[in-house]
Chain A
Amino acid sequence: MDKIAKRVQHIEVFLGTLFITIFFITIVIQVFSRYLGITVTWTGEVATYSFTWAVFLGAGAMTYENKHFAFTSFKDKLSERKQEVVNIIISLIVMSFTISIFYFGIIITKKFWNYQWIDLPMMKMGYTWLCLPILGATTTLYTINHLIMSIKRLRMEVQR
């Protein structure tokens, strides 16, 4: 399971890096074209949507690494066994939200699939909203992975 999650995270980081590069290049084009007096209308939407994709992909990848901001002072004071029990509960709480992101993400993507971008009408809005169900799917996978690992560690603690 961890191998699959790790591979998915690698792909997610790669795509996130790609989107943030697109975002960066587009912003640079936007800034310089403004100073050169050239009208480039498409940069605004490309920059915003690639930024959104990058943030959601990055947030997904950080869920795998367990790096999201959290207040752990109380948890850190517990014994290792109790910490694992809390970790299991945390994974279940997080999973309730990641499954919701996936479920509602699909509904939203379907709803807006055929809407068009304003400055690039050949682009469908569905592509932009697709990052939501992807975030939901990957974070659910990572959370299941965390859950399994916590259960394994708890079993080892109990056997000790």
Chain B
Amino acid sequence: MTQVILILLFIVFIAMGVPISYVIGIVALLGIFLIPNLGGIVVFMKMFTGLGSFVLLAVPLFILAANLMNHGSISKRLIDFSNALVGHRRGGLAHANIVVSMIFAGVSGSSQADTAGVGKVLIPKMQESGYDNETAVGVTAASSTLGSIIPPSITMVVFAGIANVSTGKLFLVGIVPGIILGLSMMLVVFIISKKRNFPRYDKVSFKDTVKLFLSSFPALLTPVIIIGGIVTGAYTATEAAAFACVYALIIGMFFYRTIKPKDLPKIIKETLKLSSLSLFALATANALGELLGYYNISTRAANFFAQIPGGAPVFMITVVIFFLFIGTFMDAVPAMILFVPVILPGALALGIDPAHLGLVVVMTLALGLVTPPYGLCLLIAGSIANIDIERSFRGVIPYFIIAVVVLLSVALFPNVVMAIPRLISPSYFI
């Protein structure tokens, strides 16, 4: 009975609009109060100690790195370079939009940073060049979801923290599906561009392309430093994030000279505000985890999922449908905090690799960033183009469909997804 009341309270509070981190904390506190011999003190101690995980320290560092990159006009240089590479094809700017998102994904780790950074430059440029608003918004929003899939990825770091999975392994398994998804979106652009006769730019000369490459080379080196270091085990995700910050600061201040010392307090303040939102929710979720432990929810969930007919494939499809639905109205971080501890025991009981589960959850929730009513990337891109959410989503639909196809393939064929990571770093799969 107690559990039913707690679940009802949880649903009512969330539906009312009480901040999710507070709802989690309140439910945890009430639940712990109702357990004999336990005091409310446990909730707040758990909130505090929940932030002690070393991997979580990477979250504000990746956000800081993204803020430094955006401030350092690095995104603009990457756009120019991408445009030089693919701008001469039909629908060149849309292709360039996806290419730059793939590169930016390897630099920043945040889809929202990608939409804001790339969208601000490319959406007006696409509008001027004769693209309709829906396409400009659709390509920008959809391709920015790659930021959560191609490493480094803040949502992957959070998943790693919740599920106790190696961040390096998660990053490794995200590379190939991320690139395939990007290429699939380019295929959609190719088909639509032919149909609608989208414009193309003159081919940039080889000399100018090399010039642009050299100008954006320091930025292009960032993913190599971050991903290379983590995947080869040279350093941890947190250390890589620290490297990325120092590197972004150095190139922003001394190479591109777009960051001045007086800009730093503002950049750090933005980092503080953004990172504390996710991390405070994680802290309260840690307290809720304690409550779930007392009620033995993990074992019950594991038993429930183990009895579902169809085994791992049906479980994975259920996970995809469930998180697609959740993602329509909830941000990725709180959604993972709330539901990953419930589904993880089931996945383990079915023999699913937690890194594979993490990849599927992250990819699904990345799609939530472009689905209304609460799709942050969709909202940001729509506001840049000044069009409403319905029109914005209409532009996203072709890319959304291809993304769901890629997602289902990733969910249903783990051996194919894991093949390349297993070759690169067998130690992760022992």
Contact = CB atoms under 8 A, between A and B. Distances in A.
Interface in B310-363: 329-331, 333-334
B20 A69 contact: yes
A20 B48 CA distance: 16
B272 A16 contact: yes
B277 interface: yes
Contacts of B54: 48
Given A73-B374, A108-B45, A21 B268 contact: yes
Contacts of A48: 51-52, 54, 57
Chain B interface, >50% SS class: helix
Interface string A39-52: 00000000110011
Contacts of A62: 273, 276-277, 280
B276 A24 contact: no
Given A51-B57, A96-B26, A69 B18 contact: no
Contacts of A55: 51, 275-276, 279-280, 283
Contact of B48 (A59, A65, A129): A129
B111 interface: no
Q: How large is the interface on B (under 10, 10 to 19, 20 to 34, 35 or more residues)?
A: 35 or more
Q: How large is the interface on A (under 10, 10 to 19, 20 to 34, 35 or more residues)?
A: 35 or more
A58 B265 CA distance: 14
B172 interface: no
Given A24-B64, A59-B21, A75 B16 contact: yes
A154 interface: no
Interface in A62-115: 62-63, 65, 67-75, 86, 89-90, 93-94, 96-97, 100-101, 104-105, 107-108
B207 interface: no
A51 B17 contact: no
B355 to A, nearest CB: 25
A16 B276 contact: yes
A71 B280 contact: no
5 contacts: A16-B276, A27-B57, A28-B245, A31-B242, A56-B280
Interface of B: 13-22, 25-26, 29, 40-41, 43-45, 47-48, 51-52, 54, 56-57, 60-61, 64, 235, 238-239, 242-243, 245-246, 265, 268-269, 271-273, 275-277, 279-281, 283, 329-331, 333-334, 373-374
